[in-house]
């Protein structure tokens, strides 16, 4: 049998047919094209789902369940709230069944789906104690304990980007001050880079930005590679903030594997090696013979789709 | 049937016979009297266990399992490391069976046992998604997800006292800087109180300390009740630090119940009400209809013994 995994994002809706070995057979995609009504969005979800099934040379009779990854908070079959989709208590399960037939439907937060996908089909290699952290516009995270998603009593769990690491620190979009996201996201790195450049008009980073056109998550790393002392300091600080949050998660969960994804991870070992050094020095479990492995995420954007498609595994 | 729960502490060894409804039937106790060899300690553990069984009018034939709560890190039947007991890879399961017979033996970190006890037999009322935080000399924590203890891949999980909430903050005994424990423990409150008193020789707290003989975890709260502005500020700050960590845990786990224990909790609602206010304002799950309840721990020192005795429930 096959299942359908759907990644409902603020920009695109992607549906995929996934086989029993967690491989994507076929995908189909359409822009979310906000603002639209929930009905229009679910019509498109159904359309791309059917399109993926058809591209795979299958019919809906070959599909055993449907999984939906969505931003926001989910409660059973209801999407309680998703700010960037304008969703307020949307009966997503019923809307999917109406359009795609009476199949089992599973709905989860998208970051949790991505963690599940990486744990079962990506760098986790089937690991049952696993954390996925994504350093992007924000800091996303999903937690797997004993093979199940930690989503708590209200399906809003796993939001470790909004763990304060600097009490009274810089404001976060969530309303708190000093969240991990406000220090360790790509957005935060760009802000930290800009602030350092402003203070240091002689930094080589000014030249790099002239060539590139804008400050990006790569600017400080590129400056560091050119031995610019200001850039080195920016990167060191940024990595310290990432590592502080990672060590917090290790101390709380001691997962088998913690993976880090998002665009910043293209830096590979330049990023991961110093993070590992921090964690090794600071984790509480210094005397344990078994330790968390810190690795790079493997599946990219497919993690969420595969995770949604295999939600049936963790019910 | 009955089980034996053992709380192996740096000061005392307590054993209890516990019934199927999680009630303590009888207890026995002896000083740990460090420094001693592991053999001597386990001889005493066996002695007080048998004493508790006898006091309960039972024999070892009535006992179906033994649970041991210990400081440090546990790996299966081995206590890998427990600093304050001088333990380094102690075969605790074998040593218990040698002395008490071939019964099933379960060994867990003591903070995790305490959380299990509160979750199943205390304020958790059987809750399967539960966190217990203890504000004492340090900040202890234990986490229950889906009815099981989160102890991670190396049984060292649940150490949320060593979650950094102030990057580059004050030094913690664990080697990190800025741990929650370094701001929210009773020890931290005493340090914060002393620092404020030093800066403000006119604070009423100086009089209170003269009466009491020493600065304690109550000094600032008592000063606040006498409307001392310096004391009010100390308490407000201290509660802010507690709440920062509590909110972090809520955002990560969204437990059904989070309980707070330890001596400071004798302040009751004076402490809990402002913590709840912070968490309500700052949690990421503002739109969820179900929210974590924040309550006072109920079982005190018995939580760990009961939790050890019922470890068989979560295997």
Task: Report the residue from A72, A154, A252 with minimal CB separation from B291.
Answer: A154
Residue B274: pLDDT band by 50, 70, 90 thresholds?
very high
Share of chain B above pLDDT 90, in %: 91
Average pLDDT score over residue span A252-275: 96
Nearest to B154 among A157, A241, A288 (CB): A288
Residues of A in contact with B247 (CB under 8 A): 164, 176
Instruction: Give the model's confidence band at B82: pLDDT under 50 very low, under 70 low, under 90 confident, else very high.
Output: confident
How does the average pLDDT of chain B come out, rounded? 96
pLDDT at B73 over 90: no
Instruction: State the average pLDDT over residues B167-191.
Output: 96
Residue B165 contacts A, CB cutoff 8 Å: yes
Q: d(Cα A182, Cα A191) in Å, to the nearest integer?
A: 10
User: Beta strands of A136-273 (E only): which ranges?
Assistant: 139-145, 148-149, 257-261
pLDDT at residue A287, as a whole number: 80
Q: What is the pLDDT of residues A23-67, one digit of tens each?
A: 999 999 999 999 999 999 999 999 999 999 999 999 999 999 999
* % residues pLDDT > 70 (chain A): 100
Conformation bin of residue B261: beta by default, left when phi > 0, alpha when psi is -120 to 50: beta
Does the model's pTM come out above 0.80? yes
- The answer to whether residue A75 scores a pLDDT higher than 90 is no
Q: What is the mean pLDDT of residues B196-212?
A: 97
Looking at beta carbons, which residues of chain B come within 8 Å of A237? none
- How far apart are the C-alpha atoms of A46 and B75, rounded to whole Å? 49
Decide if A31 contacts A48 (C-beta within 8 A): no
Q: What is the pLDDT of residues A271-284, one digit of tens each?
A: 999 999 999 999 99
Confidence of residue B132 (pLDDT cuts 50, 70, 90): very high
Is the pLDDT assigned to residue A115 strictly greater than 90? yes
Interface membership of A175 toward B (CB under 8 Å) = yes
Whether the bond between B35 and the residue before it is cis, its omega within 30 degrees of 0, is yes
Interface contacts (A, B; CB < 8 Å): 156
CA B109 to chain A, closest CA, distance in angstroms equals 12
Give per-residue pLDDT as tens, B216-245: 999 999 999 999 999 999 999 999 999 999
The DSSP 8-state label assigned to residue A48 in this structure reads H
E-only strand ranges, chain A: 2-8, 12-18, 24-31, 63-70, 73-75, 78-82, 87-90, 105-109, 130-135, 139-145, 148-149, 257-261, 293-296
Say how far apart CA B78 and CA B165 lie, in whole Å: 32
Q: Which pair of structure tokens corresponds to residue B5?
A: 């729960």
Q: Which of B72, B129, B287 sits opposite A80 (nearest CB)?
A: B287
CB-nearest to A80 from B75, B154, B288 is B288
Q: Would you call B315 an interface residue with chain A, using a CB distance cutoff of 8 Å?
A: no
Position B287 scores a pLDDT of 80
Mean pLDDT check: name the lowest of A152-156, A236-240, B124-128: A152-156
Q: Which two tokens stand for residue A312?
A: 């049936």
Predicted local distance difference test score (pLDDT) of residue B120: 96
**Residue B151 touches chain A, beta carbons under 8 Å:** yes
DSSP chain B: -EEEEEEE-SSEEEEEEE-TTS-EEEEEEEE--SS--HHHHHHHHHHHHHHHHHHTT--GGGEEEEEEEESSEEETTEEEEEGGGTEEEE-HHHHHHHHH-S--EEEEEHHHHHHHHHHHHSTTTT-SSEEEEEESSSEEEEEEETTEE--TTTT----GGG-BSBTT-SB-TTS-BSBTHHHHSHHHHHHHHHHHHHH-TTSTHHHHHHHHSS--TTHHHHHHHTT-HHHHHHHHHHHHHHHHHHHHHHHHH--SEEEEESGGGGGTHHHHHHHHHHHHHH-S-TT-SS--EEEE--STTHHHHHHHHTGGGG-
Is residue A298 scored above 90 in pLDDT? yes
Does A252 touch chain B if contact means CB atoms closer than 8 Å?
yes
Instruction: Dig out the tokens for A62 from the structure.
Output: 């070959």
**Cβ neighbours of B72 in A, within 8 Å:** 287
Kindly tell me if the per-residue pLDDT of A288 is higher than 90: no
Lowest mean pLDDT among A92-96, A178-182, B149-153: B149-153
Amino acid A285: pLDDT: 86
Rounded Cα–Cα distance for residues A223 and B38 (Å)? 56
Find the range with the poorest average confidence among A102-111, A196-205, B72-81: B72-81
Q: Do B73 and A288 touch (CB under 8 A)?
A: yes
Residues of B in contact with A75 (CB under 8 A): 288-290
Is the pLDDT assigned to residue A183 strictly greater than 90? yes
Query: In Å, how far is A126's CA from the nearest CA of chain B?
Result: 14
pLDDT greater than 90 at residue B155: no
A72: confidence class by pLDDT, cuts 50, 70, 90: confident
């Amino acid at each position: 049998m096959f299942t359908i995994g759907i990644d409902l994002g603020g920009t695109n809706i992607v549906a995929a047919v996934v086989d029993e070995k967690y491989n994507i057979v076929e995908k189909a995609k359409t822009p979310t094209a906000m603002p639209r009504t929930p009905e229009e969005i679910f019509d498109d979800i159904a359309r791309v789902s059917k399109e993926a099934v058809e591209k795979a040379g299958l019919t809906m009779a070959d599909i055993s369940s449907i999984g939906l990854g969505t931003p926001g908070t989910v409660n059973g079959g209801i999407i309680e709230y998703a700010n960037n989709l304008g969703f307020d208590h949307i009966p997503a399960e019923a809307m999917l069944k109406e359009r795609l037939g009476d199949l089992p439907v599973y709905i989860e937060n998208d970051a949790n789906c991505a963690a599940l996908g990486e744990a079962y089909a990506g760098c986790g290699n089937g690991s049952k104690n696993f954390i996925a952290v994504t350093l992007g516009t924000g800091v996303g995270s999903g937690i797997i304990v004993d093979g199940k998603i930690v989503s708590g009593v209200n399906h809003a769990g796993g939001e470790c980007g909004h763990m304060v690491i600097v009490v009274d620190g810089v404001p976060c979009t969530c309303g708190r001050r000093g969240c991990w996201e406000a220090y360790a996201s790509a957005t935060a790195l760009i802000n930290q880079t800009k602030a350092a450049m402003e203070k240091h008009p002689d930094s080589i980073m000014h030249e790099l930005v002239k060539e590139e056109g804008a400050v990006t998550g790569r600017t400080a790393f590129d400056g560091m590679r050119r031995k610019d002392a200001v850039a080195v300091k920016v990167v060191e600080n940024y990595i310290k903030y990432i590592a502080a949050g990672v060590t917090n998660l290790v101390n709380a969960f001691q997962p088998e594997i913690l993976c880090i994804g998002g665009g910043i991870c293209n830096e590979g070992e330049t990023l991961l090696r110093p993070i590992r050094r921090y964690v090794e020095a600071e984790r509480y479990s210094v005397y344990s013979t078994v330790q968390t492995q810190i690795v790079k995420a493997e599946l990219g954007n497919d993690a969420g789709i595969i995770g949604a498609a295999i939600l049936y595994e963790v019910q």
